[in-house]
Amino acid sequence: MNWFLFALAAPFLWAFVNIADNFLVAKYSEKEKERSSGGLVLFSSFIAIFIAGLIAIFVSGIFDISFLDKLLLFVTGILTIIWIILYLFTLETEDVSTIAPYFLTVPIFGYILGYIFLGETLTNNQLIGTLVVLIGLVFISMNFSKEKRKFKWKPVFYMLGACFLVAISGVIFKYVTVGNNFWISSFWEYFGMAVTGIVMFALMPKYRAQFLHMSRTGGKKIFTLNMVTELMTISGNLLTNFALLLAPVVMVYIVGAFQPAIVLLLMIICTKFFPHIAKEDLSWGILIPKIMAIIIMIMGSIILFM
C-alpha cells in the first residue's frame, strides 16, 4: 500500500480548508473593519456541539477517562477557539498563501515545549532547521509591493501566537490520547470548543452581533462549508495517522510540510479560473518572493524532521 498517497492527501485536504476559510472571511467579514470576522468562529463552535453529539452517540466510554484528562482536553478546545480567532483576523489582511507557511513553525514550538517541559534536547538538525524556517518567515512577512518595503508585524504576531497555541494543543492532545481512544479525546476537545463558543456568544456582544449578521446573510452556506471543512480536517488527521503506520514518521511529516506550496498552487488556479472563490496577487514582485520564502521554509522543515 502506497503510504505517500495517504500522506499527500492530508495536506491537500488541509489546503482546501485554508482556501475555504479565506473564502468565508472575504465574503462574510466586513473588510473595511479590521477584526470583524470573529463571529465566524462561533459557527465552528456550534458545529463542535454537533460533532461532539455524534461522537457521544456512536462511541462508548466517553466518560471513562480521568477527570484530569477531561480537563486537559477541554483546555485544548478553548485554545483551539483562540488560535482560530487569531488565524481569521490574519486572513482579513493577508493572502492565505502567505498565512499557510506559518503553520510550519508549529513543530518548532513543539520542540521548544518538549525542551522546556519534557527535558528533551534539541539536535543540530532541529536548531539549523528552525533557523532556516525563521529566515523564510522573515521573507514571507515582508511587503515586496511597489510601495515602501516594510515588515508586517501584526500578522506575524497573530500567526505566531496561533501556531504556538496549536503546538500546545497538539502536545496536550497527544499526551492524553496515548492511553485513550482518539474519538473519546476528540469528544472532550470538541466539547471544550462548544462550551467556549456558548460563553463567547453570551458574554461578547460584538461577536454575537457579527454571528447574527452572518447568519442572516449566509448562515446556511457558512454552516455547510464549516461542516465540510471540519470533516476534511478530521479526515486529514486520520490519513496522516494511517500513513504513520505505513512509513517512517519523518517521511510523513516531510510530505505534510508541502501544504503551503499546495495552497499557493490552488490559489493560482482559483485566481485564473475561479476568481469568485479566491484571488491571489500574481504580480511577479509579490509571487517570486513568496515562492522563494515557501521553498526556504520547506527546506527548513525537511532539515527539522531529518
DSSP character for 93? T
Task: Convert the pLDDT of each residue in 12-35 to its tens digit.
Answer: 999 999 999 999 888 887 655 666
Taking the CA atoms of 255, 103, 185 and 16 in sequence, report the sign of the dihedral they define. Answer: negative
pLDDT of 304 over the 60 cut: yes
Give yes or no for residue 301 having a pLDDT over 60. yes
**In the predicted structure, residue 95 carries a pLDDT above the cut 60:** yes
Model confidence pLDDT, tens digit, residues 127-168: 898 899 988 888 887 766 655 566 678 888 999 999 999 999
pTM: 0.87
Output the CA torsion 295→298→299→300 (10° steps). Answer: 120
Top mean pLDDT of 147-156, 284-293, 294-303 is at 294-303
Rounded-to-integer distance, Cα 133 and Cα 170, Å: 20
Lowest mean pLDDT among 70-84, 233-247, 263-277: 233-247
The three-state DSSP-derived secondary structure of 221-279 is: HHHHHHHHHHHHHHHHHHHHHHHHHHCCHHHHHHHHCCHHHHHHHHHHHHHHHCCCCCC
Reduced to 3 states, what is the DSSP secondary structure of residue 48?
A: helix
**Long-range pairs for 265-268: beta carbons < 8 A, 24 or more residues apart:** 266/15, 266/16, 266/19, 267/19, 267/95, 267/96, 267/97
Using the predicted structure, report yes or no on whether residue 249 has a pLDDT greater than 70: no
Domain ranges of the chain: 3-28+36-305
- pLDDT reported for residue 278: 86
- Lookup: cell for 188: 472532550
Q: Does residue 36 register a pLDDT over 70?
A: no
pLDDT per position as a tens digit, 39-71: 888 988 889 999 999 999 999 989 989 999 999
